[in-house]
């Protein structure tokens, strides 16, 4: 189970690192991923922290009764659950739509030996 | 009580039975560890959720809500959201690295046996910190429903899980965990429906009514351990065998073995350290209900610990290898978020009903038992006993599944870094990995399970989160930087945990900072890791370009280090 022993071994026929690193498709793939992941992570953390801030400093608004005992804070809280799922779903769609095709193109070109 | 005993026996036999079924399929060390990457997304999502929903989720959250109110809802929110951070920042590159565990990742990325050993120590520490409350929860559950001594439940769970893991490894664990998710969801949903119906029939009393908790009916409280309580309003109680007694306002020590009968409508004396809170305050976020100090800080710190700690939990990471490819890993994560979200809507309901119907738990301090105690009080009779048995089954499913996941991971790290990898040694490692937390669980006094599990998240967030995030997204990380960051973040948060669990510091800012350390230990860990790495720039691994490419290139290209 030594890792070092296997790190040197690459599957036969796979492209060299320099080739892949240099491929415009790979650079594009990296950019597409980062463009999604970093803003999304920041936005999602900000959304959660907003809830805490509002609970602390906008109590009147958060305590506003909407329906019976249900106030804004509870709806907001439930939305936190929902938003977690929605963001993950958007990511899965984004990856299927934008990242996987790029990866496939890259793979086809490298395996086809066109570069 | 026999129904509950039958439930414990059935869940235990079911776990062992499915384990034996899986055992026939397990062949190699790779099978033992990650089930040969051949598990379908639905099975896998159920298994991940089954393993993740621990005693803290099944019992702990409801207990914390009962005692401390709305702020405690951050526990379930954070438990779910942590998976999202894991999915976005870590899951795919870590899969491609071929690392099963954080120590593997440290070695692949940094090529340093020293950092690997440090990470191994932290995995074992986090695993044990997480296992102890599971075992204590088992003790509390068996004691609540059968009156068995507290060690009995802990020993039962530890032995069953150790034997099962040593015998079947991960393959059997996958089947067991998936089965247990559905058992847990059923076990918490069905009683909740009946409890809500009973609450409707009772005239829908408001759990957030403006008064502090009161005994709605005359209530008999038996103390099997001595407690110190604060009495807010004088109350005339009947002491069984001793006659009437006036509990005056102020502090009282009640001896073990005492049985008290409180009259209907009297205010509930609270365990010393828990503050009686009126319903309005209890239901309002950041109100400091229950005597929680500095709630705004505590909430931020808890959110940070759960969001960033999930990625560092030993039993969570390893699960991402049981998907055949990246796309099914994403599908699995989506399903996990849905399954966890569905489950977490319910514990808060139990906490709220507990404030109405089982407020005596605020006196005994056993708030973790609220989920188990409700059916007997609110419904009663045979129906109440059957629902209680179902909840006990769910609780035991929670102890068994989370403990097996933790044990597999902890034993996996022990076998790779302490012993040499072979099936026989994996079994020996499993025994060691189970025995130590059992010993601690039997010796240490119980704290709320949700709180202790939250501390395990804090340690993971302060050590493995910086290592993984910087390791994956920043070329400049060096072995000395990683080691210094792990020691600073892991060491500080572990020290905070020890000081909190031993109750050394109890009041004011120091206590708040130690009880929820993540808000300062996570930034310290990141800063130290980045700072020391920048100061030791010459130690950047020579093959960093190659490693980073393997982490970020599509896995179809065959760059992944597979084993």
pLDDT digits (tens, 9 = 90+) for A76-101: 877 887 888 888 889 888 888 888 78
- Residue B227's nearest CA partner among B356, B365, B124, B79 is B365
Rounded to the nearest 5°, which phi and psi values hold at A81? -60, -50
Instruction: Give the other-Cβ count within 10 Å of A67's Cβ.
Output: 8
Q: How many CB pairs under 8 A join A and B?
A: 124
- At residue A115 the predicted structure's pLDDT band, cuts being 50, 70 and 90, is very low
> Strands across the sheet with B243-247, in order?
B219-222, B259-262, B235-239, B243-247
Residue A16 inside a domain? The answer is: no
B342 touching chain A per CB within 8 A: no
- At residue B555 the predicted structure's pLDDT band, cuts being 50, 70 and 90, is low
pLDDT of residue B165: 81
Show the beta-strand stretches assigned E in B131-222.
219-222
- B-chain residues within 8 Å CB-CB of A22? none
Contact B86, B310 (CB under 8 A): yes
Pick the range with the lowest mean pLDDT from A58-62, B51-55, B86-90, B297-301: A58-62
H-type alpha helices, B346-380: 347-357, 360-364, 370-378
- A-chain residues within 8 Å CB-CB of B341? 81-82, 84-85
Res. B461: pLDDT tops 90? yes
Mutation for testing the B interface, residue in A32, A81, A95, A96 having most B CBs under 10 Å = A81
Q: Is B45 exposed, middle or buried (CB count within 10 Å of its CB: 0-12, 13-18, 19+)?
A: buried
Res. A8: pLDDT tops 50? no
Structure tokens at B88: 């976005």
Please list, in sequence order, all residues whose beta carbon lies within 8 angstroms of the beta carbon of residue A31, skipping any fewer than 6 positions away.
none
Alpha carbons B24 and B506: distance in angstroms, whole number: 52
Smallest Cβ distance to B73: which of A77, A85, A87? A77
Distances A46 to A49, B300, B308 between C-alpha atoms, Å: 5, 12, 14
Nearest chain B alpha carbon to A27: B553
pLDDT of residue B28: 46
Report angle CA B267, B269, B274 to the nearest 5 degrees. Answer: 120
B108·A7 Cβ contact <8 A? yes
Instruction: Give the other-Cβ count within 10 Å of A63's Cβ.
Output: 15
Residues in B 405-424 with any Cβ partner in A closer than 8 A: 416, 421
**Torsion over CA: B100, B105, B111, B117 (sign):** negative
Share of chain B above pLDDT 90, in %: 48
**Of B244 and A63, more confident:** B244
Structure tokens at B354: 């507990």
Domain of residue A53, residue span? 23-112
pLDDT of residue B31: 47
pLDDT of residue B423: 56
Distance from CA of B242 to the nearest CA of A (A): 44
- At residue B563 the predicted structure's pLDDT band, cuts being 50, 70 and 90, is very low
pLDDT (mean) for B545-558: 75
Q: What is the pLDDT of residues B325-355, one digit of tens each?
A: 777 778 888 889 999 988 998 999 999 999 9
B84 touching chain A per CB within 8 A: yes
pLDDT of residue A29: 82
Place of tokens 């309901």: B349
pLDDT (mean) for B229-248: 91
H-type alpha helices, chain A: 3-7, 17-22, 24-57, 59-62, 72-94, 100-112
B84·A84 Cβ contact <8 A? yes
Domain annotation for chain B: domains and CATH numbers:
2-204+279-557 (1.20.1730.10), 219-267 (no CATH)
Residue A96 inside a domain? The answer is: yes
pLDDT of residue B290: 82
Alpha carbons B115 and B106: distance in angstroms, whole number: 6
Residue A11 inside a domain? The answer is: no
**Torsion over CA: B413, B81, B466, A9 (sign):** positive
Res. A5: pLDDT tops 70? no
pLDDT of residue B123: 93
Contact B324, B41 (CB under 8 A): no
pLDDT (mean) for B246-264: 92
B470 touching chain A per CB within 8 A: no
Alpha carbons B357 and B215: distance in angstroms, whole number: 8
Alpha carbons B36 and B27: distance in angstroms, whole number: 10
Contact B238, B244 (CB under 8 A): yes
Residue A86 inside a domain? The answer is: yes
Rounded to the nearest 5°, which phi and psi values hold at B518? -55, -35
Query: H/E/C letters for each residue in B241-297?
Result: CCEEEEECCEEEEECCCCEEEECCCCECCEECCCCCCCHHHHHCCCCCHHHCCCHHH
Please list, in sequence order, all residues whose beta carbon lies within 8 angstroms of the beta carbon of residue B162, skipping any fewer than 6 positions away.
B407, B430, B431, B433, B434, B435
pLDDT of residue B19: 67
Instruction: Give the other-Cβ count within 10 Å of B20's Cβ.
Output: 13
**Structural domain count, chain A:** 1
What residues does A71 pair with on adjacent strands? A65
pLDDT of residue B418: 66
pLDDT of residue B537: 92
Pick the range with the lowest mean pLDDT from A3-17, A20-34, B453-467: A3-17
Residue A62 inside a domain? The answer is: yes
Smallest Cβ distance to B557: which of A20, A52, A82? A20
Residue A8 inside a domain? The answer is: no
* Torsional class of B204: left (φ above 0), alpha (ψ -120 to 50), beta (otherwise): left
Residue B142, H or E segment: helix B113-146
Q: What is the pLDDT of residues B398-447, one digit of tens each?
A: 898 889 888 988 888 888 776 655 556 778 888 889 999 999 888 887 78
Distances B21 to B42, B48, B168, B176 between C-alpha atoms, Å: 19, 19, 9, 10
- At residue B367 the predicted structure's pLDDT band, cuts being 50, 70 and 90, is very high
Distance from CA of B248 to the nearest CA of A (A): 35
Residue A4 inside a domain? The answer is: no
Q: Are strands B235-239 and B259-262 parallel, antiparallel or unpaired?
A: antiparallel
- At residue B173 the predicted structure's pLDDT band, cuts being 50, 70 and 90, is low
H-type alpha helices, B418-478: 423-443, 449-473
Averaged pLDDT of chain B: 86
Distance from CA of A66 to the nearest CA of B (A): 15
pLDDT of residue B358: 95
Nearest chain A alpha carbon to B87: A88
* Torsion angle in degrees (nearest 10) through CA of A69, A71, A73, A75: 90
Pick the range with the lowest mean pLDDT from B258-267, B436-445, B476-485, B522-531: B436-445
pLDDT of residue B556: 58
Distance from CA of A105 to the nearest CA of B (A): 11
Alpha carbons B479 and A35: distance in angstroms, whole number: 28
Nearest chain B alpha carbon to A37: B88
B303·A49 Cβ contact <8 A? yes
Structure tokens at B185: 């969801």
Distance from CA of A82 to the nearest CA of B (A): 8
Terminal Cα distance for chain B, rounded: 50
Smallest Cβ distance to B557: which of A62, A91, A110? A110
Distance from CA of B295 to the nearest CA of A (A): 9
What residues does B270 pair with on adjacent strands? B230
**Residues comprising chain A, all counted:** 115
Residue A46 inside a domain? The answer is: yes
Alpha carbons B377 and B370: distance in angstroms, whole number: 10
Alpha carbons A83 and A70: distance in angstroms, whole number: 19
Place of tokens 């026989």: B424
Res. B318: pLDDT tops 80? no
């Amino acid at each position: 189970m030594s890792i070092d022993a296997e790190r040197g071994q690459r599957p036969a026929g796979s492209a060299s690192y320099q080739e892949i690193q240099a491929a415009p498709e790979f650079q594009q793939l990296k950019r597409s991923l980062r463009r999604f992941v970093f803003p999304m992570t920041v936005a999602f953390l900000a959304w959660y922290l907003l809830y805490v801030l509002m609970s602390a400093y906008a109590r009147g608004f958060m305590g506003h009764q909407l329906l019976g005992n249900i106030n804004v804070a509870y709806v907001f809280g439930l939305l936190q659950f929902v938003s977690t799922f929605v963001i993950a779903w958007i990511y899965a769609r984004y990856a299927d739509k934008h990242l996987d095709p790029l990866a496939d193109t890259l793979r086809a070109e490298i395996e086809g030996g066109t570069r | 009580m026999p129904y509950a005993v039958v439930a414990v026996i059935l869940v235990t036999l079911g776990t062992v039975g499915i384990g034996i079924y899986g055992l026939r399929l397990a062949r190699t060390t790779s099978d033992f560890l990650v089930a040969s990457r051949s598990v379908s997304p639905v099975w896998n999502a159920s298994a991940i959720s089954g393993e993740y929903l621990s005693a803290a989720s099944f019992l702990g959250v409801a207990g914390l809500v009962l005692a401390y109110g709305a702020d405690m809802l951050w526990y379930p929110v954070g438990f779910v959201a942590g998976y999202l951070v894991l999915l976005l920042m870590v899951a795919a590159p870590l899969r491609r690295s071929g690392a099963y565990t954080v120590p593997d990742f440290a070695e692949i990325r940094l090529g340093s046996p020293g950092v690997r050993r440090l990470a191994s120590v932290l995995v074992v520490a986090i695993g044990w910190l997480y296992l102890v409350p599971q075992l204590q929860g088992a003790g509390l559950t068996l004691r609540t429903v059968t009156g068995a001594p507290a060690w009995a439940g802990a020993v039962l769970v530890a032995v069953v899980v150790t034997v099962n893991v040593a015998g079947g490894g991960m393959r059997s664990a996958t089947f067991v965990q998936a089965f247990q998710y559905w058992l847990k969801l059923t076990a918490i949903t069905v009683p909740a429906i009946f409890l809500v119906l009973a609450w409707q029939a009772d005239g829908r009393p408001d759990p957030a009514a403006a008064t502090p908790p009161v005994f709605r009916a005359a209530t008999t409280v038996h103390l099997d351990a001595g407690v110190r309580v604060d009495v807010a309003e004088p109350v005339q109680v009947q002491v069984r065998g001793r006659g009437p007694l006036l509990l005056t306002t102020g502090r009282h020590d009640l001896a073990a073995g005492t049985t008290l009968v409180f009259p209907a409508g009297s205010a509930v004396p609270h365990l010393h350290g828990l503050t009686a809170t009126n319903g309005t305050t209890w239901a309002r976020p950041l109100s400091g209900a229950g005597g929680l100090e500095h709630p705004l800080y505590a909430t931020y710190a808890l959110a940070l610990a759960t969001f960033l700690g999930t990625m560092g939990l030993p039993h969570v990471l390893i699960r991402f290898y049981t998907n055949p490819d990246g796309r099914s890993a994403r599908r699995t994560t989506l399903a996990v978020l849905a399954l966890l979200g569905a489950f977490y809507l319910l514990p808060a309901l139990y906490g709220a009903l507990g404030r109405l119907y089982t407020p005596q738990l605020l006196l005994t301090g056993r708030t973790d038992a609220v989920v188990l105690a409700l059916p007997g009080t609110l419904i009663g009779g045979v129906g109440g006993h059957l629902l209680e048995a179902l909840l006990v089954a769910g609780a035991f499913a929670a102890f068994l599944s989370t403990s097996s996941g933790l044990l597999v991971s902890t034993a996996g790290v022990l076998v790779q870094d302490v012993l040499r990898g072979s099936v026989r040694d994996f079994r020996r490692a499993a025994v060691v990995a189970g025995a130590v937390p059992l010993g601690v669980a039997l010796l240490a006094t119980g704290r709320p399970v949700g709180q202790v599990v939250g501390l395990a998240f804090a340690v993971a967030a302060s050590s493995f989160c910086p290592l993984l995030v910087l390791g994956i997204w920043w070329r400049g990380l060096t072995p000395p930087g990683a080691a210094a960051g792990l020691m600073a973040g892991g060491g500080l948060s572990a020290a905070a945990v020890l000081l909190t669990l031993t109750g050394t510091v109890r009041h004011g800012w120091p206590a708040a900072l130690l009880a929820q350390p993540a808000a300062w230990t996570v930034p310290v860990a990141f800063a130290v890791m980045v700072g020391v790495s920048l100061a030791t720039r010459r130690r950047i691994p020579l093959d960093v370009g190659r490693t980073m490419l393997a982490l970020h290139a599509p896995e179809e290209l065959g760059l992944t280090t597979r084993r």
